[in-house]
Amino acid sequence: MLKLKRVTDIYSMRVFTDSGDYFGDVEEAVLTKTKITAWRVKATKTSALNKLLGSAKGVIVPHQLIKSVGDVIIISKSAIPSYGEEAMPTEASTATQ
């Protein structure tokens, strides 16, 4: 059976990855005229997102990456921001500078 939720019921809902990591809390829905296109998830002090982003406040997760909405929201692991090797300095490159 399909259960409907109001968008306002989703605000402040906890977001977890499909591997079970706490990702953050829903802050806002990004809407078009007829549908939700994305969710803005804020990084909280205890979330894995806060450790990844550092000083950033959160990320926008496309609605296609949402796997389930219930008591919590489950998102795909591919929603986690990743940084290439060029963006993040390695220990070897920082030691030579």
Instruction: Write the pLDDT tens digit of every residue in 43-78.
Output: 888 888 787 777 778 889 999 999 998 899 999 887
Instruction: Write the pLDDT tens digit of every residue in 5-37.
Output: 788 888 989 999 988 889 899 999 999 998 999
Third-level CATH fold of 7-77: SH3 type barrels. (2.30.30)
Centre a 10 Å sphere on the Cβ of residue 58 and count the other Cβ atoms it contains: 21
DSSP secondary structure of the chain: ------HHHHTT-EEEETTS-EEEEEEEEEE-SSSEEEEEEEPPTTSHHHHHHTT--EEEEEGGGEEEESSSEEE-GGGS----TTTS--HHHHHH-
This prediction has a pTM of: 0.73
Question: Do 36 and 7 touch, CB atoms closer than 8 A?
Answer: yes
